[in-house]
Every structure is written in C-alpha cells, then in structure tokens.
Amino acid sequence: MVRGAELRSRFRDEMRTLLHERISIGAVAAALVFPTFILEDAKMAPWRLEHMASLRLISAMFCLLMFAVNKTRVGERHPYALVLVAMTVLGLLKTLINPLEVQGVGSLYFGGHALLLVGALSLLPLSLRQAVGILVAVLLSFTIPTLILADPIDHVAFSVQNSLMATMGALLCVGCHLNYRMRFREFTLRSRLYAVRQRAVDYG
C-alpha cells in the first residue's frame, strides 16, 4: 500500500505537470486575446490609442515569451514560479495601459483588467497557498504603481475597486482550494484502485 507521504509527493508531481500544461494553453490564449482589446481602446480612449496599443502588443509578446520559457526545463520544473512572475508583470503592464489621467483605479479599465487577471486563477490547478500568493502579487502590481503614479486619484473608487477585487480573489482562492482537495481525493482513489488491481494480478 502506498504511504501518505509518498502519495502526496506523487500528487504534487501530477499537479506540477498539469499546471505546466495549463500555462502553455493560457499563454497562447492570452497572446491572442490581448490585441483584440485594441478595438476597445480605439472606442474608449482614442487619444491614447498609440500608447495603449503598444502595451497591448507588448503584453501579447510577453505571453509568447512565457510560452517559450514554459517549454524549457525551467518551465517544466518551476511552473508556479513562472505563473507568479507572469501574473505580476502582466499586472504592471495593465496598470500602465490604464490612462493615469482618468483617476487611476477609478477608470473602467482598471476593474476589467484586474478581474481578468484574478479570474485566471480559476483556470489553474493551484493549492490555497499558491492561489493566495498569486492574488497578493496581482493586487500589489495594481495598487502600488497606481498610488505612486496616478494624480489625482479617486480614493473612494480606489477603496471600492480594491475591496471588490480582494473579495473576488478570496472566493477564487477558496475555489482553488476546494478543487485541489477534490483532485487529491480523486488521485487517492485512482492510486488505491491501481494498487488493488496490481495485487489481484500478482495473486492471479
């Protein structure tokens, strides 16, 4: 019978492999999606179109870079670190895309970008600790640059936007935790069934 420590170790290896696969899918999807928002920029803020279009394309190229890195041994061994870096950098890029003249986080851009990044948590097989780490990195990548660069800033909107994002992120973290536990139970059941099948074959 497989011991608990060995079972958990094998489960973490399986989750690392799954996360590695999801990163490739997510990176390609994001690289395709980011340029489409240029159409939205043209309608909402045509006076900043060149600036924001450049950052949209930089974001797409960064996603392709993450895809390439994920295909290397580094990406295979450390997929979570890759996700953490990617989320933080994309958060910073989205903050710069947001026109700082329109009240920083008070603009429609900020909430939409933040929700897209935080919502990405639901696509990844993360433990509670991993999900919380990414959520904190995403929130900080938005709030710190905005507090430093945005002038003036709507402090009421700042508080409301960030409290809503933090609440949504917390719920997603709980969802990640529940999904992680469900995956572990399913993995445990598969392992036990495999062990029983092997014993039956040996006795046969």
Confidence of residue 42 (pLDDT cuts 50, 70, 90): confident
User: 42 vs 196, which has greater pLDDT?
Assistant: 42
Confidence of residue 180 (pLDDT cuts 50, 70, 90): very high
Q: What is the DSSP string of the chain?
A: ---HHHHHHHHHHHHHHHHHHHHHHHHHHHHHHGGGHHHHHHHH-GGGHHHHHHHHHHHHHHHHHHHHHHTSHHHHH-HHHHHHHHHHHHHHHHHHHS-TTS-GGGSHHHHHHHHHHHHGGGGS---HHHHHHHHHHHHHHHHHHHHHH-SS--HHHHHHHHHHHHHHHHHHHHHHHHHHHHHHHHHHHHHHHHHHHHHHHHH-
Res 80 pLDDT > 80: yes
* pLDDT (0 to 100) of residue 18: 93
Q: What percent of the chain has pLDDT over 70?
A: 85
Mean pLDDT, residues 153-162: 77
Confidence of residue 107 (pLDDT cuts 50, 70, 90): low
Mean pLDDT, residues 64-68: 96
Task: Kindly report the pTM of this predicted structure.
Answer: 0.82
* pLDDT (0 to 100) of residue 120: 77
Res 19 pLDDT > 90: yes
Across 41-50, 82-91, 100-109, 138-147, the highest mean pLDDT is recorded for 82-91
